[in-house]
């Protein structure tokens, strides 16, 4: 039987993810999810710094102070959610699969 698709080699940088059975796209998607959560945490941290600056420069204006406090609260909530996502994934991974990183490393189980 002839292979109608031919031999396809992986592009540079992608070959470290292997094929579907050894991680493949799931490893790639897992890295994307971790990166997005990291970016969300970084964004919340930058927002927190900017909110602190807005609070310090608000002076006696109650509307600016209330707006700054609101932004500080939302930034702290965002940081908590970003960090909590990793913590909850580790806890549930340990409880369900006996391994802390089970949910942080996506895997596809296929029959042999």
Q: What's the pTM value of the predicted model, to 2 decimals?
A: 0.59
The two structure tokens encoding residue 28: 């790639």
Q: What are the residue boundaries of the structural domains of the chain, listed by start?
A: 22-97
Structure tokens at 12: 């540079």
Q: Phi and psi of 59, rounded to 5°?
A: 70, -135
Retrieve residue 17's tokens: 């993810």
Q: Measure CA 39 to chain center.
A: 7
R_g over Cα of the chain: 22
Over residues 45-99, the pLDDT tens digits come to 899 899 999 999 988 899 999 999 999 998 888 888 888 888 888 898 889 888 8
More confidently predicted of 69 and 22: 69
């Amino acid at each position: 039987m002839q292979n109608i698709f031919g031999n396809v080699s992986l592009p540079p940088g992608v070959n470290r993810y292997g094929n579907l059975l050894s991680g493949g796209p799931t490893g790639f998607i897992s890295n994307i999810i971790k990166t997005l959560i990291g970016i969300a945490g970084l964004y919340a941290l930058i927002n927190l710094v900017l909110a602190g600056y807005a609070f310090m420069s608000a002076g006696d204006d109650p509307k600016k102070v209330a707006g700054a406090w609101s932004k500080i609260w939302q930034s702290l909530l965002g940081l908590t959610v970003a960090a909590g996502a990793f913590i909850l994934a580790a806890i549930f991974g340990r409880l369900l699969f006996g391994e802390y990183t089970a949910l942080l490393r996506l895997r596809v189980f296929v029959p042999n």
